[in-house]
Amino acid sequence: MQPNNRTDVLTIGESMVLFQTIGEKGIKYEPLFTKSLAGAESNVAITLTRLGKKVRWVSKLGKDPFGDYILSTLGGEGVDVSYALRDVEKPTAVYFKESKSYGDPTVYYYRKNSAASNLQPEDVQKEWFDGVKHLHVTGITPALSENAAEAIRKAMKMAKDMGLTISFDPNLRRKLWSEEKARSVLLSLIPLCDVFLPGVEEAEFLLGQQSIEEYGESFLQMGPKVVVLKLGAEGSIGFINGDSVKAAPHVVSQVIDTVGAGDAFAAGFLSVYLDNEAALTHVSLEIALTRANILGALATQFKGDWEGNPSLEEINSIIAGRVEATR
């Protein structure tokens, strides 16, 4: 496939094959699993594509059937995968998710020495950025290895030099690295981004205990032009220079699976931000946060990271309060 000339968003990061228990007895006792695709960056890529944006995703996959499956799934969802790399020696990562009838699901990663953890700074090519407006990265791929962290840092610097805007979701994954390392690498990447998207617990992890307003102010001082704090059941709050906007949560009666909700939130936010970034106002920030809150809440309503996320028409209907005929 030839890459498209205009690409709204480039995202770079590890995607994995996800095996999820069908029942709720836990991995030890469950005999049946579903197979699907997961990865924070590809979750954002698919959801932004559904919301009408052109997205390119790049990572390194093994030369194995799991890698083939990831490529065909992402390609089938309309994401440009033409720059994806294959590693003949390292495998595509997999991970297992165990749903229980209580609490958040537990995940078990099998991604040490995966193809994506072998992503090197030299792999990052200028062509990846051709015709691209915006780069989205997360703190997960930098957690995989020193070289993957350097590859992401290089991509952020290249994007900045080429005049792209950059969003960064810290996506803290404590299972992947030590607290010390996570804190120092994540803090070092914040000055490279324009839009920083932490959850309130991640803000506390990075800066210690502060008020919500102090978090917004402290992160803005590090360099981003927009800071968006996810407040969980309280909704979200956005900070720009001299202004802040709080958006009410989209209330759901029960939560089925929180994994992927932050990525849906990021996609919802970026889908509005990208149309308004030249002159982001109080009003457009509020619209972006409102859409992000709805996307994030809806993503908790199904098992799996992205499959149930809505299209642009569906989200517009929800926001307008329309009830569509379903049969």
Residue ranges binding ligand KDG (CB under 6 A): 38-40, 43, 140, 171, 173, 259-260, 262-263, 305
Q: How far is the C-alpha of 27 from the C-alpha of 4, rounded, in Å?
A: 42
Which of 169, 263, 275, 305 is flagged as catalytic?
Answer: 263
- With respect to ligand KDG, which residue has the nearer C-beta, 8 or 263? 263
Q: How far is the C-alpha of 110 from the C-alpha of 91, rounded, in Å?
A: 10
Residue nearest to ligand KDG (CB): 38
Of 85, 84, 99, 81, nearest to 29 by C-alpha is: 99
**Residue 123 annotated in active site:** no
| Residue 259 and residue 296 in contact, taking contact as beta carbons nearer than 8 Å | no
Task: Indicate the DSSP class of residue 293.
Answer: H
- Output the smallest distance, CB 109 to ligand KDG, in A: 7
- Output the smallest distance, CB 63 to ligand KDG, in A: 21
Of 138, 91, 136, nearest to 117 by C-alpha is: 91
- With respect to ligand KDG, which residue has the nearer C-beta, 143 or 280? 143
- Output the smallest distance, CB 120 to ligand KDG, in A: 20
- Output the smallest distance, CB 265 to ligand KDG, in A: 10
Alpha-carbon dihedral sign for residues 58, 64, 69, 72: positive
Q: How far is the C-alpha of 5 from the C-alpha of 168, rounded, in Å?
A: 24
- With respect to ligand KDG, which residue has the nearer C-beta, 276 or 302? 302
Encoding tokens for residue 307? Answer: 């499959």
Encoding tokens for residue 88? Answer: 């003949």
Amino acid making up residue 167: S
- Output the smallest distance, CB 163 to ligand KDG, in A: 28
* Those residues with Cβ within 8 angstroms of residue 325's Cβ, 6 or more apart along the chain or in another chain: none
Of 219, 222, 241, nearest to 230 by C-alpha is: 219
Task: Indicate the DSSP class of residue 16.
Answer: E
Q: How far is CA 126 from CA 122, 132, 161, in A?
A: 11, 11, 11
- Output the smallest distance, CB 171 to ligand KDG, in A: 6
Residues annotated as catalytic are 263
